[in-house]
Each structure stands twice: as C-alpha cells, then as structure tokens.
Structure 1
Amino acid sequence: MMFKVFYQEVADEPPVRERTKSFFIEAESEREVRAKIREFGYNIEYIQPINDVFLEFEKQSENFKVVE
C-alpha cells in the first residue's frame, strides 16, 4: 500500500502551512510508515493512505517522489 506523508522538516518549530512538504512511501500500515521514517526527525503532520487512482494523479506532479 502507498501512503502520502505530510511533514515539516524542523520538528522543534511550530507547523507552518507554507512549509509543509510531502513524500510517498510504500508500507503495510501507518505504524510501519512511522517506523521507517523515525530516523528522519521530521514533524509528521498527517499520513494518508492512497488508492491507485489518486496515486496515478500524483505521479503526474513534478514534485512526486517515493522514499525507499
């Protein structure tokens, strides 16, 4: 399953909408996503499971990136 992760790069600062970034990651559950990205030290705002239709739409974006 693919997930879209919305995050702030600096975990010590309050979230600011304009600084929100996102990436995609493949995992079996939200718990597995959090385990995979724990080392990054990001302030995770939201983890969204996505379906195939949404994924195809997102792939058209120049900002599309999948984290391994």
Structure 2
Amino acid sequence: MIFKVLYQQSRDEVPVRENTETLFLEADDIRNVRKKLTDKPYNVEFIQPLTGKFLDYEKKSAEFKLEKI
C-alpha cells in the first residue's frame, strides 16, 4: 500500500502549513511507515493511505515520487 506523509523538516519547530513537506512511501501499514521514519528528524503531522482515485490523482502530480527508505 502507498502512504502520503505530511511532515515538517525538524522536530524542534512548530508546524507551519507553508513549511509542510510531502513524501510517498510504500509500506504494509501506518505502523510500518512510522517505523521507517524513526531515524529521520521529521515531525510527522499526518499519514494518509492512498488507494483508488486518491492514488490515481496523486500519481498525476509532478511531485509524486516513491521514496526508498
């Protein structure tokens, strides 16, 4: 399954919408996504599973790139 992760670059900063970054990961479940990101300094705001039309929409975006973590 593919997940969309919204995050801030640093855990020390207060989340600001304009600074939110996005990455896409393939994992079995949300717990597995969090485990993959534990060694990163990210402040994870939200993890969204993508399926069906939501996934198709994101794939059309120029920013869609599956990360290898």
The TM-score bracket by the shorter chain reads over 0.9
- Tell me which stretches of 4 or more aligned residues in structure 1 moved more than 3 Å: none
| 1:41 matched to 2:66 | no
The residue aligned with 2:4 is 4
Shift of 1:13: 0.6
- Could you list the per-position Cα deviations for residues 26-68 of structure 1 after superposition, in whole angstroms to 9, with x for gaps in the alignment? 1111100001111111000000111132111111111112111
- Aligned position for 2:56: 56
For residues 11 and 37 of structure 1, the distance between their equivalents in structure 2, rounded to whole angstroms, comes to 12
What TM-score comes out, normalization by structure 2 length? 0.91
Identity among equivalent positions (%) equals 49
**Aligned amino acid, residue 25 of structure 2:** I
TM-score between both structures, scaled by the size of structure 1: 0.92
Q: What is the aligned length? A: 68
Whole-angstrom CA distance in 1 between matches of 2:65 and 2:40: 16
Q: Per residue, is there more helix in 1 or in 2?
A: 1
